[in-house]
Structure formats: C-alpha cells, structure tokens
Structure 1
Amino acid sequence: MEHYYNNYRKQQKERERIMQRGCLVFAVLLAMMLTAWLVWQRGMLVEARAEEATENLAGQVLRFHVLADSDSLRDQQIKMQVKEEVVTWLHENRPEDADRKEMEAFIREHLTEIKKLARETVRREGSADAVTVELARDEFPEKTYGTLTFPEGEYEALRIRIGSGEGHNWWCCLYPGLCFTDAVHVEADKKDMQELRTLVDEDAYEMVTCTSDFRIKWFFFGGYEGDR
C-alpha cells in the first residue's frame, strides 16, 4: 500500500511541476506579447508625433532647390554656380526683416528675373540646357547639415531645374535665412535660428536641431499630450 501511495505522490508532484512550468511559459509569452504591443503602440505615437512636427515645420519655412541636369562634374559645377548667383542676388535684393509670406511674395514677383539670372549663368558656363524656375511644393529627403536636420517631407520651395533635373541637387532654407555653405558645414545666423524657434512648435524645433535621433529620444523619454 505504501508503494502505491509513494507512486501516487510522485505522479502528483510531477503534474504540479508540469503545471508550474506551463504557467511560467504562459506568463513569459503573455509578457512578451504585452511588451510587443506596448512597443508597437509607442512607435505609432512617435511616428504620429514626428509627422505632426514635420507638418508644422513645413508650414513655416521656405526652401531653395536647385536640380542639376546630371551627376557629371560639369553639370554639378553649373548647378553650384547657379546656386551661388541666385543666393547672392536674393540676399542683396530681398526685403529686410521680411516674414515668410513677404519672402514668398517677393520671390513670386521676381520669378522672371531669377529665371533670367539662372539661364544667363547656365549659358555663361557653356551649356544650352533649358532652365525652369517656379515656386512649388517639393518632396525633400531627410538631410543633415552640420548641427541641423530637416526631416523628410513636402515643403514649399523655390525650385530651379536645369535640363532634365536628374542629377544630385542642392538645397538651403530661404526663410528663415539659413544658408548652407556646402554639403557638410552649415552657417546658421543666431537671429534666424531664434526666429525659427518662435515660428515652429517645440517638437519641430527639436527635430531640426537635435544632434541625435529624435525618434529614439521621444520613444524612451518623450512625453505626449496625453501623458502630461
């Protein structure tokens, strides 16, 4: 009788161990699923926040876009020469202390002159490529210049297309007047940076000036309106 009792106790303990392991596995799986859901939800909130900040930024800045005919050395040099001539003309002739709407109105009023200047520059460089100039909504990839990062998005821009416009392009921000000297270094006037800060919300400004990945920062440390 004692032998049967001992076997019964052993079987009972084994069933208990199996149930405990099963409960542990279930708890781990449940925790993993909950964690994955929370990560997904947080990621969605971060992306929504980034999109909202980008829209806010895009509504306040005016960019400049010069598209080269091709990636050949000659076409890239022509692009940069056009950029230099137009940026110089704009800086010399734009109204002082103009806001974004005034800057856009000034450019729209002088599109013919800007086109003439760009075309003359292209011809002077020995190219017969067509030149188009317009104010248009344009898609820009994310770009980092020095300590400034403009997120990917659609922005209003003065766009100059040389020939097919299929070569690597150049851009800067006409309003506020952040003028980029080359593809690596950036010169940002403190007054213009302060003006940008007053124009856009805190998230948008952080996106432009953040030295690390703002999405990672927002994911782990950023608060949301519902959390505040």
Structure 2
Amino acid sequence: MREEIEKRYRKKQLICVILGVCIALILTGSIVSRRMKVVDAKVRETQEKLAGEVFRFHVLANSDSEEDQALKLNVRDAVLAYMKADMKDGTDGEPTAEDTKSWARNHLEEIEEKAEEVIREEGYSYGAEANVQFCHFPDKTYGDITFPEGDYEALRIVIGEGKGHNWWCVLYPNLCFMSTTCAVVSDEGKEELKEVLTDDEYEMVTATSDFKIKWFFFGGDEKEDR
C-alpha cells in the first residue's frame, strides 16, 4: 500500500514538472515573440531614417553578357567622373545630401548624354535612361558595411533593356568617389558615415547582428539616440 502511494506521489511530481516546463516554454516563447516584434520594429524604423540620410547610385546593365556587364562599369566610371568634377566646380566645400540629390535631378539629361557617349564609343546602339527615384534594395554588403533592405532614393541609370545584373554604391556620403569597386569601405568612408548617420544608424550598418542583439535584450530600457 505504501509503495502504491509513493508511486502515485512520484507520478504527480513528474506531471507537475512536465506542466511547469510546458508553461515555462510557452511563456518564454511569448516573451521572445514580443521582443522580436520590438526588434523588427526598431530595425524598420532605423532603416527608414537611414534611407533619408543616404543617396544611392544604381546602374542596370542591358543584359548579363560579359560585354554588357563591362559596358555597365564603363558607364559607371564616366558618370562618376563627370559628377565628381561638375559638383566640385559648382559647390563650396563638401556637398550635402540635398546638394547631391539636387545636382542629380538637374543634370539627368547630361548624365544620359554622358552614358550614351560611352555606349556609342563601345560600339553599341543602346539608349540610357537616368532618373532620381525611390528603389527597393535588398541587403547590400561591401566589406564590413551592410545597408539593410528597404526603399532608398537613388540616381538610377538603365542601359538598354536593363535586364542585366546591377551595380550600386552610395553617392552620399560619397563612398562612390572613394572606391568605384565598393568592395570595401575605407576608414575615411566610415568617418564620413559616422558624421552623417545617427548612432543607431551607424551601428546598424557596421554591426547588424550586434544591433539586433542589443535591442532584443536592452532595447526597451535604453534612451533614444541623438
């Protein structure tokens, strides 16, 4: 009889432990889900603010053929060289984001002419279309800098049918002018970014994982950045 009572007691204890674990898992899952929503909201908010601080450059090739991809890069180089020279002559000191956007909007015709000049010199008959518009970009990484997915305003040049792989960089801050390959951001480029972006925005592009981890564990308790 005593053994039977002890068995029932142990069974009840086991059931209580299992129920406790299940409840803990449910509560933990609920807390994690809520925290992830907070993190996702913060990431979206910071990305939207970041998008207002930068101006991107986007060039689409006619196709993915080796020749069209090489032509895309030649167009890129010519437009960047023209832009750098003309903006330097037309502004006092370093241009701002609005200076850069305004220059691009006011020189779309000249940009198209410069692009088509290169295209003709290379022996092609494609046209080129330049616009300043909002484009949706996926996550883009070069070096240890990552610009998160989202909508950004960009100077966009479409060569021919624009069905080839694209090339991109950031016109403001002027990362394009520091390295046309955009394979890595120099220390000077990082300083440019740091001066233009808020602390949260800079942390997002330089340490995306750390940014999310920080906001998962501490986001609700931190004060807003500048």
The TM-score with structure 2 as length reference comes to 0.88
Partner of 2:51: 58
In 1, Cα distance between the equivalents of 2:126 and 2:180?
25
Partner of 1:182: 181
Partner of 1:20: 13
After superposition, where does 1:62-211 map in structure 2 within 5 Å? Answer: 62-94=55-87, 95=91, 96-179=93-176, 180-182=179-181, 185-188=183-186, 190=188, 193-210=190-207
Aligned pair in 2 of structure 1 residues 189, 25: CA closer, same or farther (>3 Å)? closer
TM-superposed CA distance for 1:194, in Å, is 3.3
TM-superposed CA distance for 1:102, in Å, is 1.4
Unaligned runs of 5+ in 2: none
Mapped contact 1:46–1:215 kept (Cα < 8 A): no
In 2, Cα distance between the equivalents of 1:166 and 1:43?
37
Q: Give the percent of matched residue pairs that are identical in Structure 1 and Structure 2.
A: 40
Aligned residues: 217
In 1, Cα distance between the equivalents of 2:21 and 2:121?
71
Q: Deviations over 1:24-55 (max 9, x none)?
A: 00001111111111221222111111111111
SS class of match (2:161):
coil
In our comparison, the structure showing a higher alpha carbon Rg is: 1
Unaligned runs of 5+ in 1: 1-6
Q: Deviations over 1:77-117 (max 9, x none)?
A: 01000000001111111134111111111111111111100
The TM-score with structure 1 as length reference comes to 0.88
SS class of match (1:165):
coil
